[in-house]
Amino acid sequence: MAQPALNVVSAPFYADALSVAQLMQPEQAVFCFSAEALKARLAQFTAGFPGTVSFAVKSNPSREVAGALAAAGLQHWDVASVHEMALVHSVAPHAHFHYHNPVKSRREIFNAYHKFGCRRFAVDAREEVAKIADIVGSDHSVELAVRFVLPRDRATSAHDFSTKFGAPEHTAIELLQDIQRRGYVPVMTFHPGSQSRDPVVYARQIEAAARIARAAGVHVGKLNVGGGFPASYPLSRPAPLAHFFATIAEAATRHFGKGLEPQMECEPGRGLVANTMSLLTRIKLVCSDGDDIFLNDGVYGGLMEFMQVPELQPPHRVIRDGKVLAGPTKPWKVFGPTCDPLDVLPAKLDLPIDLKDEDYVEFGTLGAYGIATSTMFNGYGNHAVVPVGEVYNG
């Protein structure tokens, strides 16, 4: 079938993925993005969280998302690399950066400090404190955020960050004391794990933060509670955000003391952006003598996280002629487009029996870690982002 000569990147505004499929008929997989949905979700955070809200750029490093957040007034950005700083700086020249990747090269620290004006760096090791001090010298406006970690039940989140980052309590105490001795501003931070389902996890971490600060004899003026705020998936329905915000505020007062609470910060990624994008894929081949189909995107593209955590399986629907395809379904084995046997979804999907080549399969709730983890393996994965009014989330 001949494709319309449309430039996806400069495409007009569409109502939703149904109209994108019908009017644009994209050959390559595209992300459908609702800036209005993102603006509304940001408003929930800024109105409900008891402190400063930033965005974890790693969850969706697209210019479209960064631009929409900047236009909505977001000023603080949690970044994991200098590359992310450059992206944000291109749409928000006066952005305040929280460089909360605990491991950074000297060159990265130098560029963050001198080129992008970054004055917040996370640390979880003595060597990192010394490295930063060598570069920033006697600039006592620099904030060093000690990232601590607690032994915990891994079942409380989809991704466990404690296996890679975070200082145990005794080390966190020493780091706070070292930071204060050097004259920098001590901050504390933690990460409860991506897609955290239980607000009580935040309370336990805040209790530990207060305990560590008291043991160090250091006044901590700011506490960053990390990301971890959940999105809603078919197999993972968390408590409302308001429950998380109320738990965090109550825990800060209870453990630090009324009127003595540090300034609270958060850095949502998934919880902020997941429900603002869907991925529109196209069927390349339906095998009539079996139950195999091949899409134009897969686990090396926007569906990589699908492979990692079953509970984060996105909702899906089939589109034909601009309408959702209904009727009887059966389990289909779904392959991606690359010449690699690993490019197959981990579980069969229930899709209509009457599938045809050129039908579209839309996957919702892929605003977080869809674009972020896409590769260009075999030339697939350079996704365009198409603006829509409404986005499918099941």
In 3-state terms, what secondary structure has residue 191? Answer: coil
Q: What's residue 87's pLDDT?
A: 98
Q: Does residue 317 form part of some domain? A: yes
Asked whether 348 and 332 are in contact (CB, 8 A), the reply is yes
Q: What's residue 10's pLDDT?
A: 47
Measured between alpha carbons, how far is 183 from 42 in angstroms, rounded to an integer? 35
Q: What's residue 156's pLDDT?
A: 61
Q: Where would I find the H helices in the chain?
A: 17-19, 35-48, 63-71, 82-91, 106-115, 126-136, 169-182, 200-216, 241-256, 270-273, 304-308
Q: What is the pTM of this model?
A: 0.92
Measured between alpha carbons, how far is 28 from 297 in angstroms, rounded to an integer? 8
Q: Does residue 120 form part of some domain? A: yes
Whether residue 369 is predicted with pLDDT greater than 80 in this model: the reply is yes
Same domain, 155 and 29: no
Identify the CATH number of the domain in which residue 301 sits.
2.40.37.10
Same domain, 295 and 228: no
What is the arithmetic mean of pLDDT over 279-284? Answer: 98
Whether residue 302 is predicted with pLDDT greater than 50 in this model: the reply is yes
Confidence band for 288, pLDDT divided at 50, 70 and 90: confident
Identify the CATH number of the domain in which residue 88 sits.
3.20.20.10
What DSSP string describes 121-174? EEESSHHHHHHHHHHHTT-TT-EEEEEB-----GGGSSB-GGGTS-B-HHHHHH
Whether residue 2 is predicted with pLDDT greater than 60 in this model: the reply is no
From residue 270, alpha-carbon distances to 197, 309, 384 in Å are: 12, 14, 20
Q: What's residue 11's pLDDT?
A: 52
Q: Which domain holds residue 261?
A: 61-268
Last residue of a domain, one of 248, 268, 288: 268
Confidence band for 152, pLDDT divided at 50, 70 and 90: low
Same domain, 119 and 164: yes
Q: Does residue 118 form part of some domain? A: yes
Using only C-alpha atoms, the chain has a radius of gyration, in whole angstroms, of 22
Whether residue 155 is predicted with pLDDT greater than 60 in this model: the reply is no
From residue 40, alpha-carbon distances to 248, 390, 392 in Å are: 21, 12, 15
Same domain, 100 and 156: yes
Residue whose tokens read 């993972």: 236
Lowest mean per-residue pLDDT among 15-24, 287-296, 305-314, 353-362 = 305-314
